[in-house]
Structure 1
Amino acid sequence: MMTCEQAEALNAAELARKQRPPRRVRPTQQCTMGYGYYSDSQQPVPALRLRGRWLEQLGFTIGSKLRITVRDRELVITVVGEE
Protein backbone atom coordinates (compact mmCIF):
# COMPACT_ATOMS: atom_id res chain seq x y z
CA MET A 1 0.00 0.00 0.00
CA MET A 2 1.24 3.48 -0.87
CA THR A 3 1.98 5.93 1.94
CA CYS A 4 0.71 9.50 1.86
CA GLU A 5 4.25 10.75 1.17
CA GLN A 6 4.65 8.34 -1.75
CA ALA A 7 1.32 9.43 -3.22
CA GLU A 8 2.30 13.10 -2.90
CA ALA A 9 5.66 12.43 -4.57
CA LEU A 10 3.95 10.55 -7.38
CA ASN A 11 1.48 13.40 -7.90
CA ALA A 12 4.30 15.97 -7.87
CA ALA A 13 6.28 13.96 -10.44
CA GLU A 14 3.22 13.66 -12.69
CA LEU A 15 2.53 17.40 -12.42
CA ALA A 16 6.17 18.22 -13.25
CA ARG A 17 6.01 15.91 -16.27
CA LYS A 18 2.88 17.65 -17.56
CA GLN A 19 4.38 21.13 -17.08
CA ARG A 20 7.55 20.51 -19.11
CA PRO A 21 8.04 22.63 -22.21
CA PRO A 22 7.79 20.76 -25.52
CA ARG A 23 10.90 18.79 -26.30
CA ARG A 24 13.15 19.97 -29.07
CA VAL A 25 12.91 17.69 -32.08
CA ARG A 26 16.28 16.16 -32.79
CA PRO A 27 17.30 15.93 -36.42
CA THR A 28 17.59 12.48 -37.92
CA GLN A 29 21.01 10.99 -37.21
CA GLN A 30 23.08 8.41 -39.01
CA CYS A 31 25.65 6.03 -37.61
CA THR A 32 27.53 2.90 -38.59
CA MET A 33 26.55 -0.53 -37.25
CA GLY A 34 29.29 -1.82 -34.99
CA TYR A 35 30.14 -5.33 -33.96
CA GLY A 36 30.66 -7.39 -30.85
CA TYR A 37 31.23 -11.02 -29.92
CA TYR A 38 29.29 -13.58 -27.94
CA SER A 39 31.42 -15.07 -25.17
CA ASP A 40 31.45 -18.54 -26.75
CA SER A 41 32.18 -17.49 -30.34
CA GLN A 42 34.87 -15.81 -32.39
CA GLN A 43 32.26 -14.82 -34.97
CA PRO A 44 31.43 -11.09 -34.94
CA VAL A 45 27.76 -10.11 -34.52
CA PRO A 46 26.11 -6.73 -35.24
CA ALA A 47 26.00 -4.42 -32.21
CA LEU A 48 24.42 -1.02 -31.61
CA ARG A 49 25.14 1.25 -28.61
CA LEU A 50 23.13 4.36 -27.86
CA ARG A 51 24.15 6.69 -25.04
CA GLY A 52 23.89 10.31 -24.07
CA ARG A 53 21.87 12.81 -22.09
CA TRP A 54 19.49 13.13 -25.05
CA LEU A 55 18.15 9.65 -24.22
CA GLU A 56 17.34 10.79 -20.69
CA GLN A 57 15.68 13.93 -22.04
CA LEU A 58 13.41 11.70 -24.12
CA GLY A 59 12.38 9.61 -21.09
CA PHE A 60 14.90 6.77 -21.46
CA THR A 61 16.20 7.00 -17.89
CA ILE A 62 18.63 4.58 -16.27
CA GLY A 63 16.75 1.43 -15.24
CA SER A 64 13.78 2.02 -17.57
CA LYS A 65 12.18 -1.08 -19.03
CA LEU A 66 12.14 -0.94 -22.82
CA ARG A 67 10.04 -2.55 -25.53
CA ILE A 68 11.80 -3.11 -28.85
CA THR A 69 9.47 -3.59 -31.80
CA VAL A 70 10.97 -5.03 -34.98
CA ARG A 71 9.59 -3.99 -38.34
CA ASP A 72 10.93 -4.27 -41.87
CA ARG A 73 14.50 -2.89 -41.47
CA GLU A 74 13.37 -0.74 -38.54
CA LEU A 75 13.65 -0.86 -34.73
CA VAL A 76 11.20 1.09 -32.57
CA ILE A 77 12.33 1.49 -28.95
CA THR A 78 9.65 2.51 -26.44
CA VAL A 79 9.76 3.01 -22.67
CA VAL A 80 7.29 0.51 -21.20
CA GLY A 81 4.36 2.24 -19.50
CA GLU A 82 5.07 5.65 -21.06
CA GLU A 83 2.72 5.47 -24.03
Structure 2
Amino acid sequence: MHMKRKTIRRGKVHSRCQEVVKLYSDGRSGYRGVPLLRIGGLWMERVGFMIGDAIDITVKAEKLIITKASANENR
Protein backbone atom coordinates (compact mmCIF):
# COMPACT_ATOMS: atom_id res chain seq x y z
CA MET A 1 0.00 0.00 0.00
CA HIS A 2 1.43 3.37 -1.05
CA MET A 3 0.96 6.16 1.51
CA LYS A 4 0.35 9.66 0.21
CA ARG A 5 3.09 12.07 1.28
CA LYS A 6 2.15 15.22 3.13
CA THR A 7 2.75 18.44 1.22
CA ILE A 8 1.76 20.69 4.11
CA ARG A 9 3.50 20.38 7.47
CA ARG A 10 2.21 22.10 10.59
CA GLY A 11 4.55 23.42 13.26
CA LYS A 12 4.71 26.10 15.89
CA VAL A 13 6.75 29.28 16.28
CA HIS A 14 8.66 29.11 19.56
CA SER A 15 10.71 31.79 21.29
CA ARG A 16 14.21 32.30 22.59
CA CYS A 17 15.78 35.10 24.60
CA GLN A 18 18.01 37.53 22.76
CA GLU A 19 19.92 40.51 24.09
CA VAL A 20 18.62 43.79 22.68
CA VAL A 21 20.83 46.88 22.91
CA LYS A 22 18.99 49.94 24.23
CA LEU A 23 15.82 48.00 24.93
CA TYR A 24 14.64 50.46 27.57
CA SER A 25 13.92 54.17 27.17
CA ASP A 26 16.88 55.06 29.42
CA GLY A 27 19.27 53.29 27.02
CA ARG A 28 19.80 50.10 29.03
CA SER A 29 20.13 46.79 27.27
CA GLY A 30 17.98 43.81 28.13
CA TYR A 31 16.67 40.48 26.96
CA ARG A 32 13.41 39.82 25.19
CA GLY A 33 11.73 36.91 23.51
CA VAL A 34 12.14 36.65 19.75
CA PRO A 35 10.45 34.19 17.37
CA LEU A 36 12.30 30.93 16.68
CA LEU A 37 11.48 28.36 14.02
CA ARG A 38 13.14 24.93 13.83
CA ILE A 39 12.25 22.36 11.23
CA GLY A 40 13.67 18.93 10.59
CA GLY A 41 12.91 15.40 9.55
CA LEU A 42 13.55 12.79 6.93
CA TRP A 43 10.89 14.43 4.76
CA MET A 44 13.37 17.29 4.16
CA GLU A 45 15.87 14.82 2.73
CA ARG A 46 13.19 13.27 0.54
CA VAL A 47 12.50 16.66 -1.06
CA GLY A 48 16.18 17.44 -1.65
CA PHE A 49 17.54 19.22 1.45
CA MET A 50 20.72 17.58 2.75
CA ILE A 51 22.77 18.29 5.87
CA GLY A 52 25.06 21.25 5.21
CA ASP A 53 23.12 22.61 2.23
CA ALA A 54 23.03 26.39 1.91
CA ILE A 55 19.49 27.75 1.77
CA ASP A 56 17.75 30.96 0.77
CA ILE A 57 14.78 32.20 2.77
CA THR A 58 12.44 34.54 0.91
CA VAL A 59 10.38 36.68 3.30
CA LYS A 60 6.88 37.79 2.33
CA ALA A 61 3.87 38.90 4.35
CA GLU A 62 2.99 35.95 6.61
CA LYS A 63 5.05 33.59 4.43
CA LEU A 64 8.60 32.17 4.42
CA ILE A 65 9.77 30.34 1.30
CA ILE A 66 12.81 28.10 1.82
CA THR A 67 14.79 26.98 -1.24
CA LYS A 68 18.22 25.43 -1.74
CA ALA A 69 20.78 28.03 -2.74
CA SER A 70 22.25 27.61 -6.21
CA ALA A 71 25.57 25.76 -6.17
CA ASN A 72 27.32 28.65 -7.96
CA GLU A 73 26.26 31.33 -5.45
CA ASN A 74 28.94 32.70 -3.13
CA ARG A 75 28.15 32.69 0.57
TM-score (norm 2): 0.65
Structure 1 runs of 4+ aligned residues shifted over 6 Å read: none
- Provide the aligned length of Structure 1 versus Structure 2: 59
Between Structure 1 and Structure 2, which shows a larger proportion of strand residues?
2
Unaligned runs of at least 5 residues, structure 1: 1-23
CA RMSD in angstroms, aligned pairs only? 2.1
Deviations along 1:21-75, whole A, 9 cap, x unmatched? xxx6424222221011225652110000001111111111011010000111100
1:56 aligns with 2:56: no
Q: Which is bigger in relative contact order (C-alpha 8 A, separation at least 6)?
A: 2
TM-score (norm 1): 0.60
Between Structure 1 and Structure 2, which shows a larger proportion of helix residues?
1
Q: Distance in 1 between matches of 2:43 and 2:19?
A: 31
